[in-house]
């Protein structure tokens, strides 16, 4: 599976910018196109990428200050209704059952708020959730695998753990 660069949802406004930024070929499959979005406008982007991709991923995990100041990325962990609305709108506009709509998040310092976000995204039709097991303030701290486990146990969809797994040995330790 391949992930694209992270695109701003407003890339639909400029055909020239979109055509120069978003390119693909037959070998790029399955391709998941990542969007940084703070509005349901990402649902309009699906027309531009759906013919070339296997799914769309909403990046709600970027901890960079500029992204959070603009209302993108990890700040969205505090807006579960908005995230679920975006997922629902994208899901409702795609008539291709195999097309995935996923979300990548960071955890909130209050795990119950993270679980709430994930449950709302699941109810809205998200295909899977990737969880980076740190808060946006934690750059070099160890990943909170216990939080990822709590999230996984709270959902009935696939949860992908992200962060600090650098070898097959570490994968085996994590799975235990």
Residues noted as catalytic: 62
Looking up tokens 């330790």 gives 173
Across-strand partners of 55? 32, 100
Report the 10 Å Cβ neighbour count for 103: 26
Determine whether 174 is exposed, middle or buried from the number of CB atoms within 10 Å of its CB (0-12, 13-18, 19+). Answer: middle
Burial of 136 (0-12, 13-18, 19+ CB in 10 A): buried
What CA–CA distance (Å, rounded) separates 77 from 79?
6
Q: Cβ neighbours of residue 135 under 8 Å, at least 6 residues apart?
A: 74, 106, 107, 108, 109
Overall residue count recorded for the chain in this entry: 176
Distance set, CA 113 to CA 48, 65, 118 (Å) = 33, 21, 9
């Amino acid at each position: 599976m391949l992930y694209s660069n992270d695109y701003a949802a407003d890339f639909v406004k400029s055909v020239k910018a979109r055509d120069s930024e978003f390119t693909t070929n037959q070998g790029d499959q399955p391709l998941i196109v990542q969007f940084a979005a703070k509005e349901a406008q990402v649902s309009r982007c699906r027309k531009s990428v759906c013919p070339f991709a296997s799914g769309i991923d909403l990046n709600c995990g970027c901890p960079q200050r500029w992204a959070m100041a603009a209302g993108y990325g990890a700040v969205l962990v505090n807006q579960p209704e908005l995230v679920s609305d975006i997922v629902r709108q994208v899901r409702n506009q795609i008539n291709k059952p195999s097309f995935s709509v996923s979300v990548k998040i960071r955890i909130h310092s209050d795990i119950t708020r993270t679980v709430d976000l994930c449950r709302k995204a699941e109810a809205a039709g998200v295909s899977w959730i990737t969880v980076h097991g740190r808060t946006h303030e934690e750059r070099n701290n160890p990943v909170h695998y216990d939080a990822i486990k709590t999230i996984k146990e709270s959902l009935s969809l696939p949860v992908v753990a992200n962060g600090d797994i650098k070898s097959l040995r570490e994968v085996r330790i994590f799975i235990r």
